[in-house]
Amino acid sequence: MVLRLACPHCGPRPVEEWTYGEVPDPPDHLTEADERDVDRGFMMGNTEGVKVERWFHAGGCRRWQTITRDTTLD
Amino acid sequence: MNEFIEAQVALGWEQNLRSSYDVVIVGGGGHGMSTAYHLATRHGITDVAVLERGYIGSGNSGRNTTIIRANYGIPEAVRFYQRSVDLYSRLEEETGRWIMHDRKGLLWLVHGTPGTRNERARSIVNQAFGADTVYVTPEEVGEICPEVDMNAGGGEYRVTGGSYSPHAATARHDRVVWALAEGAMKRGVHVHQRTAVTGLLKDGDRVTGVMTDRGPVTAGVTVSAVGGHVSTLAAMAGVRLPIRTHPLQAFVTNHYARTFRPIVASAEMGFYVSQTPRGEMLLGAGIDSQPSYSYRSSYEFLSHCSLPAVTLLPFLRDLTVLRQWTGVCDMSVDMSPIMGYTGVDGFLVTTGWGTWGFKGIPAGGEQMAELIATDRTPELIAPFSLNRFKEDRLMFDPGSTGTTH
């Protein structure tokens, strides 16, 4: 079955209704402004495991939601 | 599937994992094996180990839809992939192994003015940089592939033309990996299957080798040829990559009794199809939208991919789905590969192969081998360095990936 994300307003809804929102996660050791900008713009943690994410429920309540997901399972 | 591997390819497995190699390549897929093969054959560098967590070719090399083409939209990519197309067409002769290379031609359909403009531009860029793509009219589409319903079932996706790339081909993915593995092994390269890399050995900031579940291995150069899991390995070296891992699904139908010659794709409708040597129709489409490492296949994908396919190629309606599978793809931000230095001494990557890696196997390996042997970035892959993100010169070419992203 396709991935379902639990919306606090609408309940579990298929991922097709949602838009993924990348949360920039530049590491703390990057202190130089340009380096941080490059990291914010392009680089990704690409977490393999449990991750807190932002998703926009475009096909439902049209609210941004914070959702915790295990990327190795879903 | 049993293709009598041992009878057809003389793979000389080395049991002894040495504690040190000149070059350690992490990942025994097409790109890892091709890098090892070209190191051995072009540069005489054979103190090389390829470490593979599963069995060789078991990752994305064993899950892709085996299309070889160079009809990209930007000059740097056309030149690189045309090099790969040329190397592929010589690979059987060079290795003495039948990889089932079959030059079928690729028909890329468009449905309206914007697509027409795109494909005209693509043809011009392709011809200028060495690929033989031409723009084709609806009549020519009908001649190349009579099965296409030009009216697209009467809907809004009426076929208004397309581009045709005679150079496009398919090959048997396992055999490509095996042929390269055999060529590397018989020149002394060690390939270790069931050997997982669990960490990197470091001396200060420099990467000096890998920790495996069979013990540490030091290396002059460590190369990541890892697919979807590349970010996890790169993070051990302190390297952050512009990569997000997404699942990509595909499926085959049962045997279609007639010959279906070309590869047919529609980026606008979001699917592509070709016939395997066994007669199955092989279909693929875009990646799953969620970043994920899951190998789960979904019914939703089947329906999303089948609808446009049966609309354009009505004969597909009578076929049934045999197998469906998923791979996890290292999707780069600009939909182009990333090859070369990482900013960390002793650690190189060939990554960002996303959904377009198979076609790049020969040229990717050849160029990475040259980089390792000469310690200079070859001109052909210089545009694809990791540095391009810092230097604000992205190789943005999503329209050429053949899938919707």
pLDDT at B70: 97
Total CB pairs under 8 A between chain A and B:
69
**CB of B201 closer than 8 Å to CB of B207:** yes
CATH classification number, B5-64+173-243+334-400, choose in 3.40.50.20, 3.40.50.1360, 1.10.510.10, 3.50.50.60 = 3.50.50.60
Which residues on B lie below 8 Å from A48 (Cβ)?
Answer: 229, 231-232, 245, 293
The pLDDT of A24-30, averaged and rounded, is 91
Residue of chain A minimizing CA distance to B390: A38
Task: Using DSSP bridges, classify how beta strands B263-266 and B67-68 pair: parallel, antiparallel or unpaired.
Answer: unpaired
Of A16, A43, A71, the CB nearest to B240: A43
Which residues on A lie below 8 Å from B243 (Cβ)?
Answer: 44, 46
- If residue B247 lies in a helix (H) or strand (E), which one and from where to where? strand B243-255
In tens, the pLDDT along B80-90 reads: 999 999 999 99
Of B229, B240, B291, the CB nearest to A39: B240
Distance from CA of A52 to the nearest CA of B (A): 12
CATH number of the structural domain spanning residue A46: 3.30.2270.10
Which residues on A lie below 8 Å from B342 (Cβ)?
Answer: none
pLDDT at B399: 82
Does residue A32 form part of some domain?
A: no
Does residue A58 form part of some domain?
A: yes
Distance from CA of A9 to the nearest CA of B (A): 20
Nearest in space to B330 (alpha carbons), one of B225, B236, B238, B246 = B246
Buried b (16+ CB within 10 A) or exposed e, B294-307: beebbebbbebbbe
- Indicate the residue type of A28: D
Residue of chain A minimizing CA distance to B231: A46
Which residues on A lie below 8 Å from B239 (Cβ)?
Answer: none
Does residue A30 form part of some domain?
A: no
Q: Where are the beta strands (DSSP E) in B97-186?
A: 102-103, 106-110, 134-136, 161-165, 169-170
Question: How far is B48 from B24, CA to CA, in rounded Å?
Answer: 6
In tens, the pLDDT along B283-322 reads: 999 899 899 999 999 999 999 999 999 999 999 999 999 9
Of B229, B290, B333, the CB nearest to A74: B290
Of B232, B244, B390, the CB nearest to A44: B244
pLDDT at B207: 98
Nearest in space to B113 (alpha carbons), one of B158, B150, B74, B160 = B160
Which residues on B lie below 8 Å from A21 (Cβ)?
Answer: none
**CB of B356 closer than 8 Å to CB of B405:** no
pLDDT at B4: 55
Q: Where are the beta strands (DSSP E) in B114-242?
A: 134-136, 161-165, 169-170, 190-192, 197-203, 206-212, 215-224
The number of domains in chain A is 1
Mean pLDDT score of chain A: 93
B199 strand-pairing partners: B211
SS3 letters for chain A? Answer: CCCEEEECCCEEEEHHHCEEECCCCCCCCCCCHHHHHHHHHHCECCCCCEEEEEEECCCCCCCEEEEEEECCCC
Distance from CA of A10 to the nearest CA of B (A): 19
Specify the 3-state DSSP secondary structure of B118: helix
Specify the 3-state DSSP secondary structure of B312: helix
Which residues on B lie below 8 Å from A23 (Cβ)?
Answer: none
pLDDT at A2: 74
Angle between the B173-185 and B361-374 helix axes, to the nearest 10 degrees?
30
Nearest in space to B267 (alpha carbons), one of B162, B169, B170 = B162
Nearest in space to B110 (alpha carbons), one of B40, B164, B147 = B164
Q: Could you say which residues of chain B have pLDDT below 70? A: 1-8, 403-405
Distance from CA of A47 to the nearest CA of B (A): 8
Which residues on A lie below 8 Å from B393 (Cβ)?
Answer: none
Measured between alpha carbons, how far is residue B93 from residues B29, B101, B182, B192 in Å?
Answer: 21, 11, 14, 26
Burial class (CB in 10 A: 0-12, 13-18, 19+), B22: middle
Question: How far is B323 from A32, CA to CA, in rounded Å?
Answer: 50
Give the domain extent around A42. 4-25+37-70
Which residues on A lie below 8 Å from B298 (Cβ)?
Answer: 1-3
Where exactly are the structural domains of chain B? Answer: 5-64+173-243+334-400
Measured between alpha carbons, how far is residue B220 from residues B24, B28, B201, B213, B394 in Å?
Answer: 8, 19, 11, 20, 30
Of A3, A44, A72, the CB nearest to B242: A44
Of B229, B294, B298, the CB nearest to A73: B294
Does residue A57 form part of some domain?
A: yes
Does residue A55 form part of some domain?
A: yes
Residue of chain A minimizing CA distance to B230: A46
Of A19, A42, A71, the CB nearest to B242: A42
A17: left (phi over 0), alpha (psi -120 to 50) or beta: alpha
Q: Do B300 and A2 touch (CB under 8 A)?
A: yes
Does residue A21 form part of some domain?
A: yes
The vertex-A19 CA angle with A14 and A21, nearest 5°, equals 130
Does residue A53 form part of some domain?
A: yes
**CB of B250 closer than 8 Å to CB of B325:** yes
Question: How far is B298 from B304, CA to CA, in rounded Å?
Answer: 10
Q: Do B245 and A48 touch (CB under 8 A)?
A: yes
Question: How far is B250 from B149, CA to CA, in rounded Å?
Answer: 23
pLDDT at B1: 41
- Indicate the residue type of B31: H
